[in-house]
Chains A and B, each alone.
Chain A
Amino acid sequence: MSGATAIALALGIPLAGALGIAVTGRWANLRETVTLVTAVVLALVVWSLVPGVFAGARPELEITTLLDTLSIGFRVEPLGMLFGALAATLWIVNSIYSIGYMRGNDEKHQTRFYVCFAIAIFAAVGVAFAGNLLTLFAFYEVLTISTYPLVSHKGDAATIRSARVYLGILLSTSIGLLLPAMIWTYAVAGTLEFTPGGILDSLSGPAVGLLLGMYAFGIGKAALMPVHRWLPAAMVAPTPVSALLHAVAVVKAGVFTVLKVVVYVFGIDLLAGGGFSQWLVYLAGGTIVLASLIAMTRDNLKARLAYSTVSQLSYIVLGAALATASGVIGGALHIATHAAGKITLFFCAGAIYTALHKTEVSQLRGLGPVMPFTFAAFTIGAISIIGLPPFGGLWSKWYLALGALETGQLFAVTVLMLSSLLNIWYLLQIPFLAFFGRPSPDSAVSGVQEAPLACLVAIGLTSAATVALFFLADPLYELAARVPLR
Chain B
Amino acid sequence: MSVDAHLPILQIIVPMLTAPVVTLLRVPSLPWAAATAASLVAFSVALSLVGAVDTASPIIYELGGWQAPYGIVLHVDHFSALLLVIITGASSVALAFGKPSLDQQVGQERAPMFYAAWLLVVSGLCGMAATGDAFNLFVFLEISSLATYVLIAAGPDRRALMATFRYLILGTIGATFYLVGVGLIYMMTGTLNLEDMAVRIGDVADLRPILVAAGFITVGLALKAAMFPLHVWMPNAYTFAPHVATVFLAACSTKAAIYVLIRFDHVVFLPHLSEHGELTTGFLMPLAVLAFLVGSAVAVFERNLKRMLGYSSVAQIGYILLGVSLLSTTGLTGAIVHMFNHALMKSALFMAVACLAFRANSVQLPDIAGAGRAMPLTMAAFVIAGLSMVGVPLTAGFVSKWYLVLACLEYGAVGYGLAALVLIASLLALVYVWKVVETAYFKPRPAGAPELSEAPPMMLAVLWVMALANVWFGVNTDFTLGLAGNAARALSGMGP
Query: Considering only CB atoms, which chain B residue lies closest to A137 in the complex?
Result: B393
User: Which of B394, B423, B477 is in CB contact (< 8 Å) with A175?
Assistant: B423
Decide yes or no: A183 and B406 within 8 Å by CB, A64-B476, A67-B477, A175-B426 being known contacts: yes
Once the chains bind, are A179 and B423 in contact (CB under 8 Å)? yes
Assuming the contacts A64-B476, A67-B477, A175-B427, asked whether A180 and B394 have C-beta atoms less than 8 A apart, the reply is no
- The answer to whether B393 and A141 have CB atoms under 8 Å apart is yes
A138 to B471, CA, bound (A): 13
User: CB of A437 within 8 A of chain B?
Assistant: no
For the complex, is B491 an interface residue (Cβ under 8 Å from A)?
A: no
Q: Tell whether, in the assembled complex, residue A134 and residue B426 are in contact, meaning their CB atoms are under 8 Å apart.
A: no
Known: A66-B477, A175-B426, A180-B405. A152 touches B442 (CB 8 A): yes
- The answer on a CB contact under 8 Å between A138 and B394 is yes
B399 at the interface (CB under 8 A from A): yes
| Minimal beta-carbon separation of A54 from chain B (angstroms) | 31
Q: Which residues of B contact A64 (CB under 8 A)?
A: 475-476
Q: Smallest Cβ distance from B232 to chain A, in angstroms?
A: 29
Identify which of residues 373-408 in chain B touch chain A, using a CB-to-CB cut-off of 8 Å.
390-394, 399, 402, 405-406
A52 at interface, CB cutoff 8 A: no
Contact yes or no, B442 A183, CB < 8 A = no
Q: How far is the CB of B412 from chain A (nearest CB, A)?
A: 12
Interface-centre pick from B394, B419, B434 (highest chain A CB count, 10 A) = B394
Q: Could you give, for residues 179-190 of chain B, a 1 whenever the CB lies within 8 Å of some chain A CB and a 0 otherwise?
A: 000000000000
**Which B448-496 residues sit within 8 Å CB-CB of chain A?**
474-477, 481
Knowing A175-B426, A175-B430 touch, does A160 contact B442 (C-beta < 8 A)? Answer: yes
Q: Kindly state whether residue B279 has any CB partner on chain A within 8 Å.
A: no
Interface check A172, CB cutoff 8 A: yes
List of B residues within 8 angstroms of A167 by Cβ: 434
- Chain B residues with CB under 8 Å of A70's CB are 402
Q: What B residues does A180 contact at CB under 8 A? A: 405, 419-420, 423
Query: Given A138-B392, A138-B394, A187-B409 in contact, is the A171-B475 Cβ separation under 8 Å?
Result: no
Decide yes or no whether B207 CB sits under 8 A from chain A: no
Q: A64-B475, A152-B442, A175-B430 are in contact. Are A184 and B392 (CB under 8 A)?
A: no
Residue B424 at the chain A interface, CB threshold 8 Å: yes
A186 at the B interface (CB under 8 A): yes
A320 to chain B, nearest CB (A): 24
Q: Which of A134, A149, A172, A183 contacts B419 (CB 8 A)?
A: A183
B298 to chain A, nearest CB (A): 19
A137 to B393, CA, bound (A): 8
A163 CB to nearest chain B CB (Å): 9
Chain A residues 182 to 211 lying within 8 A of chain B, measured CB to CB, are 183-184, 186-187
Whole-angstrom CA separation of A138 from B441 in the bound complex: 23
- Docked pose: A149 CA to B441 CA in angstroms: 9
A184-B409 contact, Cβ under 8 Å, with A66-B399, A141-B392, A167-B434: yes
Cβ-closest chain B residue relative to A136: B393
Cβ B442 vs Cβ A172 within 8 A: no
Q: How far is the CB of A213 from chain B (nearest CB, A)?
A: 14
* Residue A176 CB within 8 A of the other chain: yes
When the two chains form their complex, are residues B475 and A72 in contact, meaning their CB atoms are under 8 A apart? yes
Docked-complex contact A66 and B475, CB < 8 angstroms: yes
Instruction: Check if A171 sits within 8 Å of B420, measured CB to CB.
Output: no
B430 and A183 form a contact (CB under 8 A): no
Q: Check B405 against A183 for contact (C-beta < 8 Å).
A: yes
Partner of B399 from A67, A149, A175, A186 at Cβ < 8 Å: A67
What's the nearest-Cβ distance from chain B to residue A437, in Å? 40
Q: Which residues of chain A are near B394, meaning CB under 8 Å?
A: 72, 138
When distances are taken between beta carbons in the complex, the residues of chain B under 8 Å from A137 are 393
**Who on chain B is nearest to A141 by CB?**
B392
A155 interface residue per 8 A CB criterion: yes
Contact with A along B287-318 (1 / 0, CB 8 A): 00000000000000000000000000000000
Give bound CA distance, A138 to B395, whole Å: 10
Closest chain B CB from A74 CB (angstroms): 14
Residue on B nearest A179 in the bound complex, by CB:
B423
From known contacts A175-B430, A176-B424, infer whether A67 and B402 are also in contact, taking CB-CB under 8 Å: yes
Q: Is A176 a contact of B434 with CB atoms below 8 Å?
A: no
Per-residue 0/1 for A59-97: is the Cβ within 8 Å of any B Cβ (1 yes, 0 no)? 000001011001010000000000000000000000000
Residues of chain A within 8 A (CB-CB) of B399 are: 66-67
Interface string of A97-139 (1 = CB under 8 A from B): 0000000000000000000000000000000000000100110
A179 contacts across to B, CB distance below 8 A: 423
Shortest Cβ distance from residue B329 to the other chain A in the assembled complex, whole angstroms: 14
Please report the C-alpha to C-alpha distance between residue A159 and residue B394 in the assembled complex, in whole angstroms: 31
How far is it, in angstroms, between the C-alpha of A122 and the C-alpha of B434 when the chains are bound? 22
Most buried by B among A66, A138, A176: A66
CB distance from A191 to the nearest CB of B (A): 14
Distance of A60 from chain B, by nearest CB (Å): 18
Residues of chain B lying within 8 A (CB to CB) of residue A186? 406
Residues on B with C-beta less than 8 A from A72 are: 393-394, 475
The residues of A that contact B475 with a CB separation of less than 8 Å are 64, 66, 72
Task: Establish whether residues B423 and A67, one from each chain, have CB atoms under 8 Å apart when the complex forms.
Answer: no
Give Cα distance in the complex from A175 to B423, angstroms.
7
A residues within 8 A CB of B419? 180, 183
Q: With a CB–CB cut-off of 8 A, which chain B residues contact A66?
A: 393, 399, 474-475, 477
Residues of chain B contacted by A175 (CB below 8 angstroms) = 390-391, 423, 426-427, 430
In the complex, which residue of chain B has the Cβ closest to the Cβ of A66?
Answer: B477
User: In whole Å, how far is B414's beta carbon from the nearest beta carbon of chain A?
Assistant: 15
B477 touches A176 (CB 8 A): no
Question: Nearest CB to that of B434 among chain A residues?
Answer: A167
CB-CB under 8 A from B441, the residues of chain A are 149
Q: How far is the CA of A444 from the CA of B144 in the complex (A)?
A: 81
In angstroms, how far is the closest chain B Cβ from the Cβ of A70?
Answer: 8
**Chain B residues, CB < 8 A from A152:** 442
A183 neighbours in B (Cβ, 8 Å)? 402, 405-406, 409, 419
Contact A172 B402 (CB under 8 A): no
CA distance A72 to B392 in the complex (A): 13
- Min CB–CB distance B300 → chain A (angstroms): 13
Report the bound CA distance from A160 to B441 in whole Å: 12
Partner pick for A172 among B409, B427, B481, CB 8 A cutoff: B427
Partner of B423, one of A149, A176, A187: A176
Shortest beta-carbon distance from A112 to chain B in Å: 10
Most chain B CB atoms below 10 A, which of A70, A72, A138, A179: A179
**Can you list 12 pairs linking A and B with CB atoms under 8 Å apart?**
A64-B475, A66-B475, A67-B399, A138-B392, A138-B393, A155-B442, A160-B442, A176-B424, A176-B427, A179-B423, A186-B406, A187-B410
Question: Which 10 residue pairs spanning A and B have beta carbons closest together?
Answer: A138-B393, A187-B409, A67-B477, A183-B405, A64-B475, A172-B427, A175-B427, A176-B423, A175-B426, A138-B394
Q: Spell out B's residues near A (CB within 8 Å).
A: 390-394, 399, 402, 405-406, 409-410, 419-420, 423-424, 426-427, 430, 434, 438, 441-442, 474-477, 481
| Sample of 12 more A-B contacts, CB < 8 Å, known A134-B393, A175-B390, A175-B426 | A66-B393, A66-B477, A70-B402, A138-B392, A141-B393, A149-B441, A152-B442, A176-B427, A180-B420, A183-B406, A183-B419, A187-B409
